[in-house]
Amino acid sequence: MKLLPRLLASFCLLGLAVTSLPAASAPKRNVLFIAVDDMNNDLHTYGHPYVSSPNIDRLAQMGVRFDRAYCQFPLCSPSRTSLMTGRRPDATQVYDLQKHFRSVDPDVVTLPQMFMRAGYYAARVGKIYHYGNPGDIGTPGLDDAPSWNHTVNPAGRDKTTLESDIINYTPNRGLGSAMSFLSDKKGADEEHTDGKVATEIIKLLEAKKDQPFFIACGFYKPHTPYVAPAKYFDLYPLEKIKVSVGPAEHIKDVPKAALSSTAVWPWFGCTEQQAREVKQGYYAAISFVDAQIGRVLAAVDRLKLWDNTVVVFWSDHGYHLGEHGLWMKQSLFENSARVPMIIVAPGAAGNGRPSARTVEFVDLYPTLADLCGLTPPANLAVQSLKPLLDNPAAAWDRPAFTQVWRGSFAGHSVRTERYRYTEWDDGQQGVQLYDYQTDPNEYRNLASDPAYAKVAAELKALIAKNWAHEFKPAAGDRKKNARKNKQGE
């Protein structure tokens, strides 16, 4: 009988040993990083009356939709560079489609590099940085630390066999910046470039579902030329499509620089009928890429990844479709600077609610670090959006800063929840002030209204503080970059 007490004592000691073992660490959160190109906020979830975007809408219902999200520079490469480095354009010195940010700072830790250093598998399919510039950033030969474990650059029939059939109403502009479109009456979704992007992303999700991943899904549409299967054009009968510059008199109070001196105004010289056809193509391209996003989300459903995967949806900048007589981007109006942005974070208390707080693209880097328990670089002058994911209406007093260049001078803009204030060439080429509470379409420039003098002074001070140490490209570079940006947007 003396054996029983000994056995009991042994079991007690074993129990103590087991309970003293360190708890298994929680699995790392994955990130599915979905980017679209040149997509504005003309989406059903953002209140558009007839654009069909059910899969983006679904993301908004699952996560937090940011209603006032802004890019730092409404042009592909500067915007994407800021987002992927967490740095503003004056830190990266990328203001055009050519410059490589590592030529300024070769030691920048990009967003996927931060995840790779934490043991994640990082992959890119499609467009995350600007096309081929700065190439496959982070690969050996450019620096010593690759940005991705794996990359895929699909090319479908829209980029190969169909290019000669594309209708271009602005033949003096290359297809990358033209008012051009094509309804593809023969090709299936999966044969187009973005269909191939979705297919490759699904393969990666299937292969890497059991290890922590940062997978960047870079769709190419709705960037011009607006090419999509015909069924997506059929969603938008031409009689539904309207284009307008707005009230004719409002242009009198708009500085010339705000309308861009490099473009034929309005609409690059297109007729109203041509503009309507082009806009139909743009909306068709939105619905086409939304369907490809749906294919990816279906894979997330099937693989049961939602409980441990942060999903981010973003467009690199907004896009004009005729407003103020403009088409495309590179303005400091709301249509160009504002972007759709949605974050679905597992367990976030704010999921399913929109946030009206003013946020910036540079905030995404620290937000993903925060959500995944990683430490971002110390030199990021930005803030995590996690408090807004927990409470979308939380107190938040940070404005958003956006800029563009017009050859030899810059346009600087600050956006608060109520106002936008813009200076061209430090005010020498014009000033704009809009009150979105009374003028959501930016038809009344209040910069010279004495009733708004105090507001203008406060916002001017914010611009002066933000751009106190602005880097200015050399004059020759500014002229060269202005020409190149005009040719390929």
Cis geometry, peptide bond prior to residue 266 (ω within 30 degrees of 0): yes
Give Cβ neighbours of residue 112 (< 8 Å, ≥ 6 apart). Answer: 84, 122, 124, 138, 147, 148, 214, 216
Residue of 44, 48, 130, 270 marked active site: 130
Residue 143 β-bridge partners: 140
What is the Cα–Cα distance from 356 to 352, expressed in whole angstroms? Answer: 13
Identify whether 76 is a catalytic site residue.
yes
Give Cβ neighbours of residue 410 (< 8 Å, ≥ 6 apart). Answer: 403, 404, 424, 425, 467, 470, 472
What is the Cα–Cα distance from 90 to 67, expressed in whole angstroms? Answer: 26
Q: Among residues 401, 406, 380, which one has the least CA distance to residue 483?
A: 406
- What's the token pair of residue 82? 């800021």
Side chain identity at residue 48, one-letter code: H
Other Cβ atoms within 10 Å of 374 Cβ, number: 16
Q: Where are the alpha helices (DSSP H) in 391-468?
A: 453-466
Q: For the chain, what is the total number of helices (H) and then of strands (E)?
A: 13, 17
Cβ-contact 108, 102 below 8 angstroms: yes
Identify whether 130 is a catalytic site residue.
yes
Cis geometry, peptide bond prior to residue 222 (ω within 30 degrees of 0): yes
What is the Cα–Cα distance from 480 to 96, expressed in whole angstroms? Answer: 10
SS3 151: strand
- What's the token pair of residue 118? 């934490």
SS3 34: strand
Cis geometry, peptide bond prior to residue 134 (ω within 30 degrees of 0): yes
Residue of 44, 71, 76, 217 marked active site: 76
Cβ-contact 106, 143 below 8 angstroms: yes
Cβ-contact 170, 269 below 8 angstroms: yes
- What are the catalytic residues? 76, 130
